[in-house]
Chains A and B, each alone.
Chain A
């Protein structure tokens, strides 16, 4: 087990004739020994590149990586004592499950008796004993996933890398494997670096989350921090389903009180931010409440459509001129076209300086 220190990592790809693409821009990150950290972001955000550089499968343009203070930037993948689970599982198709599991040990010269013991204990832990003599193509998706995990676990690596390991599973199995993975980390306490585009996986599994976009780290923090105090508009919109409502408008002040104004919407802000001018107001669907039209500060809105999502219901409404989603219990019924009154929870308003996705949050 090891702590990982990533220092000013930079990666450019050059394709012939065009300018360089910055896949990763100045990433600095400290990962504690035994921590479960997720890199999350849309495709092309640099999360996989970062993971592949940590694995040694890509060379960084500049920057260093240290495991417990040892600089491993120049080492071959085989000399790093890491294990990786691939999105495609990457099981060797011509080998049995047993051979797949012990391949890494064999390459490291572990004697066969010891290998057999290791295979037996991993197979027992992951409940894949009956499949040891089968080929990967004879296994179901979930079983392949387990074998891939087993192949990584068997070597007792210092750092465990997972590249979207659950994204090829169907929804039900994914939830199940997610829980297993969480339990596994609880038990093993190995440093795990997990890449995913699924913010829900990141939220449920991680000690900390790194949100990335366009090769740049946007925010790093615990799931709670990322969810309740997003650093900028991109993070706010990326984390959470349905995503945070964004209303673009203007912040102005009148004496001591500040106002946020958007077409058809005028809102008194609970505390005056230092910022004036074009801004974005963010509010999560669960922080909007249905109120009586006479209530102080009530905002009138019109229902467009309502969707039932099991225990809750999402209502798409137009508030002023802005489309907004609110989340209510499934029992709350609203008819399309109905006029309603809404109140925004003043404690959970997010204000961003500007209207672009990199607009920073105001505290």
Chain B
């Protein structure tokens, strides 16, 4: 009982530390400009206002930034899942020489700092005409998301019994058909988990988005929101409103797929 109490209070403390900035962000977005910097601070707005949200949509191009981000993130997540899953499947199933060292190399690629990649990537993309393009930015994000997807999905695929696939091959499926019909459905929790991660990474990414996209109409949220900060004046209410809206899709997505992250679908088909 006492043990449970101790654990719960530790968890509560951690929760407060993690959640407070989010709470403060959401709160500030509903405070009028005059209340934002008041000392002592108000923990609930005295006057609630939706002015910042209105300004966000009428006075800035937040809507466009949001759509651009969504487009890039969906594209890069989709590509990462396709390329990463196929790669992971090959690593999990096929007898390829040098497979193990390649598997480790993938992990190293994932650990590589992005700041070191951006210059060569920029030069390469300029030659290929991929700068100022959402496809280009999505491809750049694959440098991080594909290794991650491969690393995680490899274990997921390895845990799917080979028998299932072989049964499908004998039943008349091709290799890809068996992967699609039988293996991927067993790996759905993995796909969702890695998909969310790839999306989150792309959604929050700042450096690549800033450097590879210079066309204002193509900007994504993180560098786009930076323009709300100026040297003379920063409209914190506006920034907090934008941040709240930018956080919302991820929060909703997590809520929806939470159960997939926890439960496995594979139980019961093999043995008992």
A88 touches B270 (CB 8 A): yes
The verdict on A93 contacting B268 (CB below 8 Å), with A78-B169, A103-B171, A107-B171 known, is yes
Interface residue ranges, A against B (CB under 8 Å): 55-57, 76-78, 82-84, 86-94, 103-104, 107-108, 135-138, 140-141, 144, 151, 155, 168
Q: Which of B161, B164, B186 gathers the greatest number of chain A CB atoms within 10 Å?
A: B164
List of B residues within 8 angstroms of A93 by Cβ: 164, 186, 265-270
List of A residues within 8 angstroms of B265 by Cβ: 93-94
A92 touches B269 (CB 8 A): yes
Interface string of B138-178 (1 = CB under 8 A from A): 00000000000000000000000101101111111110010
Q: Which of A89, A108, A135, A151 gathers the greatest number of chain B CB atoms within 10 Å?
A: A89
In the complex, B216 has a CB within 8 A of chain A: no
| Cα A88 to Cα B266 with chains together (Å) | 14
In the complex, B182 has a CB within 8 A of chain A: yes
Report how many residues on chain B are interfacial, defined by Cβ distance under 8 Å: 25
| Cα A316 to Cα B182 with chains together (Å) | 52
Q: How many A-B residue pairs have CB under 8 A?
A: 90
List of B residues within 8 angstroms of A92 by Cβ: 164, 167-168, 181-182, 185, 269
| Cα A200 to Cα B63 with chains together (Å) | 74
**Which of A86, A136, A155 lies in contact with B163, CB distance below 8 A?**
A86
The verdict on A107 contacting B167 (CB below 8 Å), with A88-B161, A90-B161, A94-B265 known, is no
In the complex, B21 has a CB within 8 A of chain A: no
In the complex, B259 has a CB within 8 A of chain A: no
In the complex, B6 has a CB within 8 A of chain A: no
List of A residues within 8 angstroms of B169 by Cβ: 56-57, 76-78
6 A-B contact pairs sorted by A residue (CB < 8 Å): A88-B161, A104-B170, A107-B172, A107-B177, A136-B268, A137-B267
Q: Which of B163, B166, B269, B271 gathers the greatest number of chain A CB atoms within 10 Å?
A: B269
A168 touches B171 (CB 8 A): no
B166 touches A88 (CB 8 A): no
List of B residues within 8 angstroms of A83 by Cβ: 170
The verdict on A137 contacting B269 (CB below 8 Å), with A90-B163, A90-B164, A92-B182 known, is yes
Question: From A85, which residue of chain B is reached at the shortest CB distance?
Answer: B167
List of B residues within 8 angstroms of A141 by Cβ: 272
The verdict on A151 contacting B269 (CB below 8 Å), with A86-B166, A90-B161, A92-B164 known, is no
B268 touches A88 (CB 8 A): no
What's the least CB distance linking A55 to chain B, in Å?
A: 6
**Which of A90, A135, A137, A144 lies in contact with B167, CB distance below 8 A?**
A90
